[in-house]
């Protein structure tokens, strides 16, 4: 088989890139190692920056989002005793959209199918070859037979555990990492959200977050120690702990119910550079991971896709390779800004096991600054809503 762009990974990055390329008349094949149902079953991100919202509309997968997504114009930050609102819309002129990653992936799969796009599921042992030559290709196994796809470019959209990044020589790849000594225990419950804006609560018992998917679907998290087994958390234990960490007025009106999904995600900051090796590009989680505190993971994947799509479009349609040359530097510059924001917000809001009284006072002072200073709120709002592409 031959294609112009071979995309490894059928998560949000790979599907969105393939969809945008298709609309520009550029051919691609997506290789995904899992089934479609498995990919759609992953409960992950939910808050979209305005740039991501625009990109989804541009990819013609924005209709359902515009009808059913919830426009989010502010966030609530809480310390030990009370919460306060940061008016993102008033401070930046932009708003966010609450629309789940599962819904985005569903719409992207439907759009790829409707347009006759090639997405090969259960592709095993996918391997990129000859990326440092002008004739790269990708091999994989399906139904016991080996297949080969020749291409002009390879897009490594295969997430943190994928094969693309690992194919870059160790002598070339630079990795930067911070692993946090805690994780997030998250539950999804078919109950009305306790607040219609996302609540970030920094409590001495640990961090808690209240978010929502729709009027009757809530996503709540509490910080738990690293390595904590999810089996240790009955629904009742979760609700008791969650209530203890959020401001009293909200705890009083919280409606609880059975968890329809419960899982623990570790928190880490990670970046690999360069984001391009010869004719292979790294996109999204394949190149970087941020802790979910700033809601940046999926949004960074979308901005990488934007830069790569523009670069490939200019290459094929305008014979202009400047975007290809600039991709790694442009994408990484935006990644590092979001990386800093996510690290800062994580550090301010969570309890660290070795934290001193002084450290807690510093956290409280940061939160007071956010509550009382319009300048501090404006700086945060600008980063939260996302830098323009």
Q: Contact positions toward ligand FAD, by CB under 6 A?
A: 8-14, 31-34, 39, 44-46, 101, 123, 126, 157-159, 161-163, 265, 284-285, 292, 295-299, 301
Rounded to the nearest 10°, the torsion over CA 113, 119, 120, 122 is -90
Alpha-carbon span 162 to 148, nearest angstrom:
18
Beta carbon nearer to ligand FAD, 204 or 383: 383
What is the nearest approach in angstroms of ligand FAD to the Cβ of residue 320? 26
C-alpha–C-alpha distance, residues 307 and 281, integer Å: 11
**Which CB, 113 or 364, lies closer to ligand FAD?**
113
Order of strands, sheet of 174-189, starting from the edge strand that comes earlier in the sequence? 83-86, 75-78, 198-203, 206-214, 217-225, 174-189, 259-273, 288-289
Angle between helices 322-349 and 357-372 (to 10 degrees): 110
**Residue closer to ligand FAD, measured from CB, 127 or 237:** 127
Task: For residue 314, give the nearest of 26, 60, 115, 15 by alpha carbon.
Answer: 26
Q: How far is the CB of 198 from ligand FAD (least distance, A)?
A: 10
- Could you tell me which of 386, 389, 290 has the C-alpha nearest to residue 48? 386
Nearer to ligand FAD (CB atom), residue 8 or residue 246: 8
Residue 240, number of CB atoms within 10 A of its CB: 11
Q: What is the closest distance, in whole angstroms, from the C-beta atom of residue 293 to ligand FAD in the complex?
A: 9
Between CA 140 and CA 147 the distance in angstroms is 5
The residue among 127 and 374 lying less far from ligand FAD, judged by its C-beta, is 127
DSSP category for residue 215: T
Q: Residue 162 in contact with residue 9, Cβ under 8 Å?
A: yes
State the nearest-atom distance from the C-beta of 364 to ligand FAD, in Å: 25
Contact indicator for 102, 114 with CB cutoff of 8 Å: no
For ligand FAD, give the closer residue by CB, 101 or 202: 101
d(C-alpha 18, C-alpha 29), whole Å: 7
**Closest distance of CB 301 from ligand FAD, Å:** 4
Q: Is the Cβ of residue 157 or residue 272 nearer to ligand FAD in the bound state?
A: 157
Q: How far is the CB of 211 from ligand FAD (least distance, A)?
A: 7
Minimum CB–partner distance for residue 98 and ligand FAD (Å): 11
């Amino acid at each position: 088989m031959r294609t112009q762009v071979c995309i490894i990974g059928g998560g949000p990055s790979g599907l969105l890139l393939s969809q945008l390329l298709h609309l520009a008349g550029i051919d691609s094949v997506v290789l995904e190692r899992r089934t479609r149902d498995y990919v759609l079953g992953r409960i992950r991100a939910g808050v979209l920056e305005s740039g991501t919202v625009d990109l989804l509309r541009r990819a013609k997968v924005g209709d359902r989002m515009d009808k059913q997504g919830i426009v989010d114009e502010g966030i609530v930050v809480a310390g030990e005793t009370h919460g306060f609102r940061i008016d993102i819309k008033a401070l930046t002129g932009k708003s966010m959209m609450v629309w789940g990653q599962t819904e985005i992936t569903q719409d992207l799969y439907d759009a790829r199918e409707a347009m006759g796009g090639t997405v090969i599921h259960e592709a095993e042992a996918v391997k990129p070859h000859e990326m440092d030559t002008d004739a790269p290709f990708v091999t994989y196994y399906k139904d016991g037979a080996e297949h080969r796809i020749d291409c002009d470019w390879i897009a490594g959209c295969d997430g943190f555990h994928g094969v693309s990044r690992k194919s870059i020589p160790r002598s070339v790849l630079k990795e930067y990492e911070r692993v946090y000594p805690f994780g997030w225990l998250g539950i999804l419950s078919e109950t009305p959200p306790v607040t219609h804006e996302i609540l970030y609560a920094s409590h001495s018992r640990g961090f808690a977050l209240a978010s929502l998917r729709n009027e009757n679907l809530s996503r709540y998290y509490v910080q738990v120690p690293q390595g904590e087994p999810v089996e240790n958390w009955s629904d009742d234990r979760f609700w008791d702990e969650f209530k203890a960490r959020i401001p009293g007025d909200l705890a009083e009106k919280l409606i609880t119910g059975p968890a329809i999904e419960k899982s623990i995600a570790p928190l880490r900051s990670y970046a690999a550079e360069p984001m391009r090796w010869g004719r292979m590009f790294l996109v999204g989680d394949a190149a970087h991971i941020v802790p979910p505190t700033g809601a940046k993971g999926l949004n960074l994947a979308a901005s990488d896709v934007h830069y790569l799509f523009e670069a490939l479009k200019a290459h094929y349609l305008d014979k202009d390779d400047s975007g290809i040359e600039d991709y790694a530097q442009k994408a990484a510059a935006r990644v590092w800004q979001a990386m800093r924001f996510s690290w800062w917000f994580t550090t301010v809001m969570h309890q660290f096991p070795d934290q001193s009284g002084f450290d807690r006072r510093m956290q409280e002072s940061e939160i007071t600054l956010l509550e009382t200073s319009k300048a501090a709120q404006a700086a945060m709002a600008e980063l939260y809503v996302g830098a323009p592409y």
